[in-house]
Amino acid sequence: MSKIIPIISEPTKTAPKPLSTLRIWIEFLRLPSLPLSLSGVGFGNFWAYKTGIFSWSVFWLSLLTTVFLHLLTNVANDYGDAPHDKRVQGLLAHNKVRLQDLFWAMCTLTALSIISGLALIAVSPLSSAIILLILGALAIVAAITYTVGKKPYGYYGFGDISVLLFFGFLSVLGSFYVQTGMFQAALLLPALAIGLWSVAILNINNMRDIKSDVLAKKHTLATKLGLYKAKLYHFAILLIALFSWSIFAWQQRDWVSALLTLGFTIANIHITHLSTRQPKLFDTAMQFMTFSIIGIVLCFLLTPLK
């Protein structure tokens, strides 16, 4: 009598679930990253509020303009990276969003940024109109030319400087200036800290993408330094940001946000160190860094000024 041998079939690999059009656009716009740019603008606005000079119309229009500029940066980034970025190519492969759609989204967000920016200038102090017009134009050009054009500056290692200037100094000092028409030297420290934290997020992203960026001939600071030195650079960024924010918090006698900054710095150094050994943790490190910035800024804003 012959034995019946059971046939054991190999587990079939299920195809990845196709993304919806809405989900693809959320990926392109990178909506979860919005709080990053809003932190600096929110800080500058609420500092103006706490010091007694504040306009709600300026506040809402500055937030709206920041949102449009941030989304423009993200879409322009992906449009410029499309020829060699696997993430962008994977999203376009669903055939629900075309490269041409990204181009028109970039044009639309540019128009919205201009309209919102002009409205912001209209409700701001008259003395600051020309300066705001110049800064707004620079912000739009910087957002587009990061990866778009014949010589995008993001491909030559200048992304870190751009993020420091626009997410830090322009975001904090600019929003305060829009509200008050004044410059306050005391804000240089928190502007530097917020800008460096934003640079730290970019550096984590660049450390994660070192191999693919090298193949795409995208010369970020991380690819130039190598993983080990990029990690040391990252730690230096966090320590300088900690020093800057701690001095500012000490001047305001805000011990809570100073201690919170110390805790977040230690945690971010640790998780970044682990990420260089386990690359899957890089995304978690970026999310935690974003959470850290929002937590520190909110903690300070909710603490009464001494």
So where are the chain's domains? Answer: 20-183, 186-306
Q: Choose between 282 and 2: higher pLDDT.
A: 282
Q: Choose between 31 and 66: higher pLDDT.
A: 66
Distance CA 167, CA 161 (A): 10
Task: Report the pLDDT value the prediction gives residue 36, as an integer from 0 to 100.
Answer: 82
Task: Report the pLDDT value the prediction gives residue 89, as an integer from 0 to 100.
Answer: 80
Task: Report the pLDDT value the prediction gives residue 238, as an integer from 0 to 100.
Answer: 95
Work out the pLDDT band at 35, boundaries 50, 70, 90.
Answer: confident
**Those residues with Cβ within 8 angstroms of residue 86's Cβ, 6 or more apart along the chain or in another chain:** 212
pLDDT averaged over the chain? 86
Q: What is the pLDDT of residues 225-280, one digit of tens each?
A: 999 999 999 999 999 999 999 999 888 888 888 899 999 999 999 999 999 889 88
| Look-up of token digits 């306009």 | 55
Mean pLDDT of 59-78: 92
Answer yes or no: is pLDDT of 217 > 70. yes
The hierarchical CATH code for the domain 186-306 is: 1.20.120
Mean pLDDT of 291-303: 85
Task: Report the pLDDT value the prediction gives residue 34, as an integer from 0 to 100.
Answer: 84
Task: Report the pLDDT value the prediction gives residue 17, as an integer from 0 to 100.
Answer: 64
In percent, the amount of the chain with pLDDT more than 70 equals 93
- CA–CA–CA angle 200, 70, 230 (5° rounding): 20
Distance CA 50, CA 61 (A): 19
| Look-up of token digits 């059971």 | 6
Nearest CA among 136, 171, 166, 139 for reference residue 44: 171
Task: Report the pLDDT value the prediction gives residue 304, as an integer from 0 to 100.
Answer: 62
Answer yes or no: is pLDDT of 141 > 60. yes
Mean pLDDT of 213-219: 82
Least confident piece of the model among 127-131, 198-202, 270-274, 286-290: 127-131
Task: Report the pLDDT value the prediction gives residue 7, as an integer from 0 to 100.
Answer: 42
Answer yes or no: is pLDDT of 8 > 50. no
Task: Report the pLDDT value the prediction gives residue 67, as an integer from 0 to 100.
Answer: 93
The hierarchical CATH code for the domain 20-183 is: 1.10.357
Task: Report the pLDDT value the prediction gives residue 305, as an integer from 0 to 100.
Answer: 55
Distance CA 137, CA 142 (A): 9
| Look-up of token digits 């701690």 | 246
Task: Report the pLDDT value the prediction gives residue 22, as an integer from 0 to 100.
Answer: 84
Distance CA 27, CA 85 (A): 14
Q: Which amino acid is at 264?
A: F
- Do 206 and 221 contact (CB within 8 A), yes or no? yes
Work out the pLDDT band at 151, boundaries 50, 70, 90.
Answer: confident
Task: Report the pLDDT value the prediction gives residue 71, as an integer from 0 to 100.
Answer: 93
Task: Report the pLDDT value the prediction gives residue 60, as an integer from 0 to 100.
Answer: 95
Distance CA 209, CA 282 (A): 10
Task: Report the pLDDT value the prediction gives residue 10, as an integer from 0 to 100.
Answer: 44
Mean pLDDT of 58-73: 93
